[in-house]
Amino acid sequence: MEGIILKIFKDTGLMEQSAHFGWQDKDQALYGLREGYKNSADELVEIALDNGNNPKILDTFIFPILFSYRHSLEISLKHIYMRTRGTMPKGGHSLLDLWDCVKKEIIDDMICSEDFINQVKMYKENFFKYSLDGINLQEIRRMLQELQEANQKRDEIKNNVRQVDQNAEVWRYLIRMDDSLYFTCGHSIDYTVLKDGINHIYEVLDFVYHIVDEYLSS
């Protein structure tokens, strides 16, 4: 309509329909990011499952869902590192590089290190030692590798590069920089299996964050 200026961002003052941000510190910001991407993907999965007879939803929601799940895990790894080191880790968007960094510098050198635990005991009242026993860390890495390989089939792999989604581009674009499609064969992904697998990884990473947060809190 003439005379009306359409806007994207506007503060209407209506609390019940407004998002609020900018008040968070770095830790709260990363927590909000990982939770937001994870929970919104969960909601989209439920919508897809509720519309199991609608291929328009089943075959299109999968892309924002996979990107959101992937990004929630990337942010989870960076959240753990930021909490312990006070800075973002090297590794860019590569889930495997980020995991290897967290595994070496935080899980091995801190959570599983007796020297570090003894240091924590010196300033931590009512100290409780957490354990990662029962958690298959190799399985977590394998699942992150599977996610980063993006379910590509043999005929779709180019230049022997299996870690095709190390830059978090596959589910955003579906098309490579050379204009070729990432997927040229038929694929089928079960939404329930996907959600359960992501939940497992997310819960382990959340537990690792909880441990370091507890150890580093006075």
pLDDT tens-digit readout, 117-149: 999 999 988 899 999 999 999 999 999 999 999
Q: How many C-beta neighbours within 10 Å does residue 180 have?
A: 10
pLDDT at residue number 3: 75
* Mean predicted confidence (pLDDT) in 173-189: 93
Which pLDDT value is given to residue 154? Answer: 85
For residue 159, name the pLDDT band (cuts at 50, 70, 90).
confident
Nearest to 148 by CA among 112, 207, 201, 186: 201
Spatial contact of 132 and 210, defined as CB atoms under 8 Å apart:
no
Residue 73 has pLDDT above 70, yes or no: yes
Under a CB-based contact definition with an 8 Å cutoff, are residues 63 and 171 in contact? yes
Alpha-carbon distance of 31 to 47, in angstroms, equals 24
The whole-number pLDDT of residue 1 equals 56
Rg (CA), the chain: 20
φ and ψ at 181, to 5 degrees? -75, 140
pLDDT for residue 124: 87
Q: Which two tokens stand for residue 197?
A: 């697998």
- pLDDT, averaged across the chain: 94
- Say whether pLDDT at 211 is over 70: yes
- Model confidence at 34, in pLDDT bands (50, 70, 90)? very high
Retrieve residue 103's tokens.
Answer: 């595994």
Average pLDDT score over residue span 64-75: 98
Q: Which two tokens stand for residue 91?
A: 């590794």
- State how far the Cα of 136 lies from the Cα of 138, in Å rounded to an integer: 5
pLDDT band at 151 (very low <50, low <70, confident <90, very high): confident
C-alpha dihedral, 44 to 45 to 46 to 50, nearest 10°: 100
Task: Provide the pLDDT for residue 103.
Answer: 98
Angle between helices 137-149 and 95-102 (to 10 degrees): 160
Q: Distance between CA 161 and CA 110 in Å, rounded?
A: 33
**Distances from the Cα of 66 to the Cαs of 17, 26, 204, 213, in angstroms?**
27, 25, 19, 28
Tokens of 185: 């064969």
Identify which of 35, 32, 31, 33 has the alpha carbon closest to the alpha carbon of residue 43. Answer: 35
Global confidence as pTM = 0.93
